[in-house]
Amino acid sequence: MPLLKFTFSIFVAAWFFVSVSATSYAGSLLQDLENGLMCKCDDKCGKVLVNCTCSTSDKTRAKFSKMLDSGLTVEQIIKSQVDEYGETVLSAPTKFGFNLTAWVMPFIALVAGGVGVRKVIYSWVDKKDKIVAQNEPEEKTATSEKYSKRLQDELDGIEL
Amino acid sequence: MNDIGEFSLLIALATAIYGCVAYIMAARGNRIDLYLSADKTPLIVWGCVMISSICLWRAFLTNDFSLQYVWAYSNIELDTFYKFASFWGGQKGSLLFWTLLLTTYTVVVHIQNRKKNLRVVPYAMAVLLIIIIFFLCLVNFSTNPFERIPLPPEDGRGLNPLLQNYWMVIHPPTLYLGYVGFTVPFAFAVAALISKNLDDGWIRLTRKWTLISWFFLCMGNLFGASWAYVELGWGGYWAWDPVENAAFMPLLIATAFLHSVMIQEKKDMMKVWNMSLILLTFVMTIFGTFITRSGLIQSVHTFDEATLGYYFLAFLFVILFSCTALIVSRLPLLKSENQLDSFLSRESGFLFNNLLLLGIAFATFWGTIFPIISEAVRGIKITVGPPFYNQVNVPIGLALLALVGVGPVIAWRRATLSNLKKNFLRPLAVAFITAVALFPVIPLGSRVENYTYITFILCAFVMTCILGEFYKGTASRMGLHEESIFGALSTVTWRNKRRYGGYIVHIGIVLIFAGIAGSQAYGTHVEKHLKPGEKFEIRGYSITYEKLVAIEATSVKTRVIAQLDVKRNGNHYWTARPEKEFYKGQNQPVSEVDVLSTWREDLYMILADFRDDESATIKVYVNPMVSWMWTGGWVIAFGTMISMWPDRLEQRRRLERFRREESLFPSPAQE
């Protein structure tokens, strides 16, 4: 049951982050295209179109502007580019199939790490509590409790 | 001279091998004669590498094109400034430069420690020498910068125009100083593992080295961003390029290490974790080098002749395997009494800070290598670019920013409801006021805008937390000693350099976050094709294109400059001169942008294109708050300097400890 809860929480968290992040960029349609596609110049510059200043990128932008003016949607233009160059023209992996692992894995690792850290901290706190319990006198007097509280309050106020 | 340079590298290699063997044998066999002999080798190795470097610099400055490397990265017309920097412009020279820095660091470590810590230092020196040997093998046998051309040409090919920028002299050395610097704490960590001296001695010995390396890596990243901003001409500063990622990952892991060692120092906990973090940091520096020099991952930074991937990969695996084996074999000794008083404590905060830093590092690593994984699994090469990193890393980064505020304010050991209330009430109130004040003012709706809104709120929260700490310290000092506010503030900071220096670094981080958020969300740009005299407007700036001027700067470089008059509120504000530079033999011209930077925003001009009729295409970006990032960098530099400043109290404590150690373990001279 705890394992089920753990797995469920990981997937919920991963889904949440991916779906929250899935909304597209603000800005013009051309900007969406520029952010979504890589420059495919002969120099293989490896830059996202929006970041590229080479002559090929200028031509590509002009081509996209014309395509948008002709009534094609961003999705249609992206599809045409993928058909021409393959998935490598996309500036980020798609969010389905094997590529989904790219998006989900960091959050799975983070949530798993978070659960691990939480467990570790609790185990260390338990260890300390046990040691304190072993060293404590069997009966707590009202006076000792009073001083313990005062000590704790004063410790709270101290900046180390 | 070239023969001397080449020969010096061979001598350096032979000496390094001897030194390494002698150090190990001296430490294992308690041989004082070998130790004294090995003791001279770091200086000889450094001397040889320095001679070799001087020879290469001389070849650049005297246009000695008989060297293939000089021919490939220089020419007669190149400014002396860039001839000097061409040394690290290509793979061969950059590896020699790396070796030079590494041997220089090794000599400094040697001078600092030769008469103390004799249980650890010989092993640390041996580890440093092993790494030097690896690099010397590369520069001697694989990428020798002294390789000759049988018939020397009259002129060289020249340095890549994109590299002909003043940042070329600053950014690579800074980054290398950071990369190479982490070799020192790594060497001491391995030495501590081998010699079984696993208290926090190695951490104290290398604390300053770690801080210096962290500082250089941090500044190297910022300088790189600044270079990209002014040179690449796309209005941005960070593109999540694999090589940028490679410099970013060790920075994140080292930051995690810098925080978690505090727990080891205070509570003698997390020894395995800290050991793993510093090893991972070093591994990531080698991974970064592997990416740049393997050609395996497409990047704008990859060296032309990126053929060394397999050497670095092999080296990477050797380090990973041997260090893991070493840690596993020392696990019983690394075991510490891990105890915490409460879940709500600063210690827990540090653990979560580590988790988030490593989370971002992992996401970045995953994104960097995912194209290789995809190709291996599906046979399809894909690209993982900025949209991926922005979507994955930004939410984690925001959680980290929140922790930057929580960390310094939450109590060590145990936070109670009363002190949580006391410490967080004001910061939360300020955050709430910021949220309310900003809500009607700034645009919201898109993902970037929403994240920016959250970032500003968190920045206000964190700044209040940090400034509150300064206020508390200063106020209590003023009350006790009747000092002026500035006197009390400086005394408080000076007496707790490490703590308050750290807070100042955090202020720098807040400024960087604010700068990134502002520039990403509220930037705008426009592209216009204009004839002389035509004008356009953007964000209250009225820009008139005046003229186009062509200048033959040198026999290989022609500059085409567009002059634009910028008016604001009807008054002359600035004359912008963006330009394009054409280099003989280069296909693509280089854009030289013109930027007017203020606290509020940058006005960023690019000459995108021009025609014979003097008409020009001008691209103008208005990038808000970019200067906040660079200011954040200087604040980080200031904070790090305060943190690293020698502390007499700390020195006295260390001296006493060394005395105790030396009386327990006689030095070789005494033996």
ipTM of the complex: 0.81
Flag if A152 and B445 touch (Cβ within 8 Å): no
Question: Do the Cβ atoms of B374 and B381 come closer than 8 Å?
Answer: yes
Q: Is B229 helix (H, G, I), strand (E, B) or coil?
A: helix
Residues of B in contact with A44 (CB under 8 A): 298
Flag if A156 and B606 touch (Cβ within 8 Å): no
Flag if B383 and A21 touch (Cβ within 8 Å): no
Flag if A86 and B341 touch (Cβ within 8 Å): no
Count CB pairs under 8 A between chains A and B.
165
Cβ neighbours for B4, distance < 8 A, ≥ 6 positions apart: B51, B52, B55
In angstroms, the CA A126 to CA A113 distance is 20
Return the pLDDT at A22. 42
Search chain B and give the residue with CA nearest A58: B608
In angstroms, the CA B120 to CA B185 distance is 12
Residues of B in contact with A17 (CB under 8 A): 392, 395
Tell me: the pLDDT tens digits for B242-261?
Answer: 888 999 999 999 999 999 98
Question: Do the Cβ atoms of B498 and B653 come closer than 8 Å?
Answer: no
Search chain A and give the residue with CA nearest B299: A46
Flag if A106 and B362 touch (Cβ within 8 Å): yes
Tell me: the pLDDT tens digits for A19-48?
Answer: 444 444 434 788 888 888 888 776 666 788
Residues of A in contact with B591 (CB under 8 A): 53
Flag if A156 and B416 touch (Cβ within 8 Å): yes
Cβ neighbours for B182, distance < 8 A, ≥ 6 positions apart: B210, B213, B217, B250, B254, B278, B281, B282, B285
User: What does the block give as tokens for A149?
Assistant: 């509280």
Return the pLDDT at B224. 92
Flag if A93 and B382 touch (Cβ within 8 Å): yes
Return the pLDDT at B445. 80
Work out the angle between the directed axes of helices B346-378 and B386-409 (0-180°, nearest 10).
170
Return the pLDDT at B583. 83
Flag if B352 and A87 touch (Cβ within 8 Å): no
Flag if A128 and B339 touch (Cβ within 8 Å): yes
Low-confidence ranges of chain B (pLDDT < 50): 664-671
Return the pLDDT at A12. 53
In this prediction, residue A10 has a pLDDT band, given cuts at 50, 70 and 90, of: low
Flag if B385 and A122 touch (Cβ within 8 Å): no
C-alpha B599: how far from its chain's center? 24
Angle value at C-alpha B173, between B171 and B177, nearest 5 degrees: 115
Q: Closest Cα of chain A to B298: distance in Å?
A: 6
Residues of B in contact with A98 (CB under 8 A): 374, 377-378
Residue A151 has pLDDT above 80, yes or no: no
The residue among B272, B340, B375, B403 with the most chain A CBs within 10 A of its CB, best to mutate, is B340
Residues of A in contact with B524 (CB under 8 A): none
Report which DSSP code applies to A87.
Answer: G
Return the pLDDT at A154. 67
Return the pLDDT at B221. 94
Q: Closest Cα of chain A to B303: distance in Å?
A: 13
In angstroms, the CA B163 to CA B93 distance is 15
Q: Compare A152 and A130 and report the one with higher pLDDT.
A: A130
Angle value at C-alpha A136, between B411 and A155, nearest 5 degrees: 20
Name the nearest CA neighbour of B538 among B591, B596, B493: B596
In angstroms, the CA B62 to CA B77 distance is 12
Tell me: the pLDDT tens digits for B56-94?
Answer: 999 999 998 999 999 988 888 888 888 898 998 888 899
Residues of A in contact with B269 (CB under 8 A): 124
Residue among B299, B348, B591 whose CB faces A121 most closely: B348
Search chain A and give the residue with CA nearest B394: A21
Return the pLDDT at A87. 86
Residues of B in contact with A153 (CB under 8 A): 418
Strand partners, B550: B560
Search chain A and give the residue with CA nearest B236: A51
Residue A140 has pLDDT above 60, yes or no: no
Flag if B447 and A159 touch (Cβ within 8 Å): no
Q: What percentage of residues in chain A have a pLDDT greater than 70?
A: 67
Residues of A in contact with B264 (CB under 8 A): none
Report which DSSP code applies to B305.
Answer: T
Tell me: the pLDDT tens digits for A46-100?
Answer: 788 887 877 788 788 888 888 888 888 888 888 988 888 888 889 899 888 899 9
Q: Closest Cα of chain A to B254: distance in Å?
A: 18
User: What does the block give as tokens for B491?
Assistant: 């005394």
The DSSP H or E segment spanning B608 is strand B601-610
Return the pLDDT at A142. 62
Search chain B and give the residue with CA nearest A89: B383
Return the pLDDT at B647. 75
Return the pLDDT at B650. 66
